[in-house]
Each structure stands twice: as C-alpha cells, then as structure tokens.
Amino acid sequence: MFDETSTILAHEDIGGGYRHLVLRSPQVASAVAPGQFVHIKVPSLEQSALRRPFSVFNAEDGVVEVLYKTVGRGTAALGKSQVDDKVQVLGPLGRGFPLACRGKALLVGGGYGVAPLYFLARTLGAEKCILFVGGRTAGDLLALDRFAALGVDVRIATNDGSRGVQGFVTAPLDEEVNRLRAAGEEFEFFTCGPDGLLKAVADRALALGAPGWISADRHMICGVGACYACIQKTVRGNARCCIDGPVFSAKELVW
C-alpha cells in the first residue's frame, strides 16, 4: 500500500455524468490487481474531508485510470481538478477478483461497475470473457470502445432499448448461461454494479453452483481495514468491505 502523490494526466467528461481520470501513479499502478480500489483525497475539499474510494479501471505503464460518476460533493469537487494537479492516491486496496477462471468469465456490470471488469478482462484475456452490460439508456454504457479494442465479446441491454436488447442485462446473461450449460461448458460470474444487479448475479451463481465473484460498494472511512465502518455481512459474520472485500464470493455473502 502506498499513499502516492499522483499527477493528473487527463481528466475528461465522458458524458452521462461520468468522468475519466488518468493519474500518473507508478507505485500504485505496478502493484494493483483487478477489483482492487484506490482511496483518493479530493484536493479541493476541506482538510478534514474523508477520502473517496474508486475501483481501478485500468493500470498500465505507471498510469492508473478511474471512471467515476458525479453523485455528490466529493465527486463534484474532484471534477474540478485539472491536468497537472496533484492528488493523493492511497492504494492498491482491498481483495480483488481471482485471476484465474475455469471456463468462461461472465462479466456483468452496470454503471461504473464496468470499471474493474475492464481491468479484469485485460488480465484474464479477452477471449475468456463475455461482458454483459446494462443501463437505463445507451448513455449509461461506459467504456464500450475500450472493451471492443480489447476484443471482448459484449452483450448489451438497455431499459429503453436504445442500444442492445431491451430489458435487463440478466436476459442476455441467462441466455448465454443456458447455452454454456447446454454445451457442458464451465463458467464463472464476476460482477460489479448496483446492489440489485449483484444480488441477481449472486442468486444465479448459487442456484447454478457456479463460482460468483461479487464486488460490493460500502461507504468507507479508512479504506484499509482500520475503522470497521464498511461492513458487509457474510456467513462468517461482519466483514470489512475494504480489506476482506470489496470482492466476495457469492457463497460468503449475506444480503
């Protein structure tokens, strides 16, 4: 774990209320694994403000990328930082996804939940992965170009049908699962996104007896396991999302 003084290399509004933040953070970049996150001190917030946790979207060549949605005062303030500004980045933090997968890796993401899945796909290898991504409308779908460039097979569902099939992302997911089962192929689930989606994926993993890797968001104070603020209930009791997670096995989770 490093608390690295990082420099903003790029910081762009990518539409839909999302921004793409690119940081020069060589220490964090070389140590981070898919599913891990960083805890960022937002420069313009007051000294006592807590840090904000974000999944690592990509890490390569000393550079860490984050995709984030502006939802409150911290992300709004972060959005005002500019190229060349310095940002304290604490990381890598948490337990990420397993980096081996038996059979197909079914990546299921919603919103900024696709961020860690991109880094995962790059690590597992595009050919092993299918990304299932959902959103209300086409504008909610993030980083499709990056997944495409990797060569990942992408299946899209939008509530309004503006892109991909109309409806929930579980529809194309279930279709693929049925296909794989019919073909006798193995698969694992990897998911990050809103709680409803996580639950839907976890239920399928349990029902099908397939491994399910669920990345959960919990409000955090320290991000390193020191404060016990970020509790996720598990079969073994109260776990800390920041250090025992954020990725949990579907079998461990208690909803």
Ligand X SMILES: Cc1cc2nc3c(=O)[nH]c(=O)nc-3n(C[C@H](O)[C@H](O)[C@H](O)COP(=O)(O)OP(=O)(O)OC[C@H]3O[C@@H](n4cnc5c(N)ncnc54)[C@H](O)[C@@H]3O)c2cc1C
Q: Under the criterion CB under 6 A, does residue 49 sit at the interface with ligand FMN?
A: no
| Between 136 and 218, CB nearer to ligand FMN | 218
Provide the 3-class DSSP secondary structure of residue 154. strand
Hey, which residues between 209 and 238 contact ligand FMN (CB under 6 A)?
221, 227
8 Å CB contact between 101 and 125: no
8 Å CB contact between 23 and 8: yes
> Smallest Cα–Cα separation from 123: which of 102, 103, 100?
100
Binding test (CB under 6 A) with ligand FES, winner from 198, 202, 242, 253: 242
| Between 218 and 251, CB nearer to ligand FMN | 218
| Between 104 and 240, CB nearer to ligand FES | 240
| Number of C-beta neighbours around residue 168 at 10 A | 18
| Between 68 and 132, CB nearer to ligand X | 68
Q: Under the criterion CB under 6 A, does residue 172 sit at the interface with ligand X?
A: no
Q: Name residues whose C-beta falls within 8 Å of residue 123's C-beta, 6 or more positions apart in sequence.
A: 33, 34, 99
What does the binding site for other proteins look like in residue numbers (CB under 8 A)? 1-3, 41, 46-51, 88, 90, 218-219, 221-222, 224-229, 231, 237-238, 243
| Helix or strand (DSSP H, E) at 180 | helix 170-182
Hey, which residues between 194 and 233 contact ligand FES (CB under 6 A)?
220-223, 225-230
